Amino acid sequence: MREIGIPHPRLPLPAVGYEDDMAEFLVWLGDAIPMVAALGIREMRRDGDALEWQLALEPSLNDKGTGFGGALTAQTTLLGWCWTTLWLRRHGLSRDVVVAEASQRFLAPVTGDYRLTCEPEAGDAPSALAERLEQRGKGRIALVQRLWCGDTLCLEACGDYAVLPAG
């Protein structure tokens, strides 16, 4: 059981040359952030520079029978945090990540199960982050999250994620 003010133990970094097991990461994430259990995440996978979740709508229903904006916003923010954390882990770094700024545009109601994608806003953003981490020990990356219900883009979010200095 989590306690207020007590950090959750970090997941050990994967062995050199190996990537995170997404199922194992999701289990750890659910232990570290209790609300994850209520988000309806069915699957998490990586595709190149994109991270994707498949989600059930039912846990995030609002009074109108569609997706609740607050839940969807929390999911986009957390997916960006996961993208950044997993990117760091692939580079052998165990660092704290925080969301520095986030915004979202709701484009259409979410009326069924959906998928969320997250990728860098600019193609060179990961290399720029690596360079800043090397030079200054900290950095930021801008990510874009998109929520798709079938072929319909329902939500687009943007977030800046800060990687804090080690120690």
Provide the number of structural domains found in the chain. 1
Rounded Cα distance between 39 and 55, Å, is 8
pLDDT (tens digit, 9 = 90+) per residue, 26-45?
999 999 999 999 999 999 99
Rounded Cα distance between 122 and 124, Å, is 6
Residue of 113, 103, 115 lying closest to 156 (CA atoms):
103
Asked if residue 11 belongs to a domain, the reply is no
Rounded Cα distance between 81 and 151, Å, is 25
Asked if residue 106 belongs to a domain, the reply is yes
Residues 6+ apart with CB under 8 A from 94: 10, 13, 88
Rounded Cα distance between 19 and 39, Å, is 24
Low-confidence ranges of the chain (pLDDT < 50): none
Which amino acid makes up residue 44? M
pLDDT value for 129: 98
The three-class DSSP label of residue 119 is strand
Asked if residue 4 belongs to a domain, the reply is no
pLDDT value for 1: 76
Asked if residue 88 belongs to a domain, the reply is yes
Q: What is the CATH number of the domain that holds 42?
A: 3.10.129.10
Asked if residue 12 belongs to a domain, the reply is no
Helix ranges restricted to H, the chain: 22-32, 69-90, 125-136
Asked if residue 45 belongs to a domain, the reply is yes
Residue numbers of the domain that contains 122: 22-163
Asked if residue 9 belongs to a domain, the reply is no
DSSP 4: T
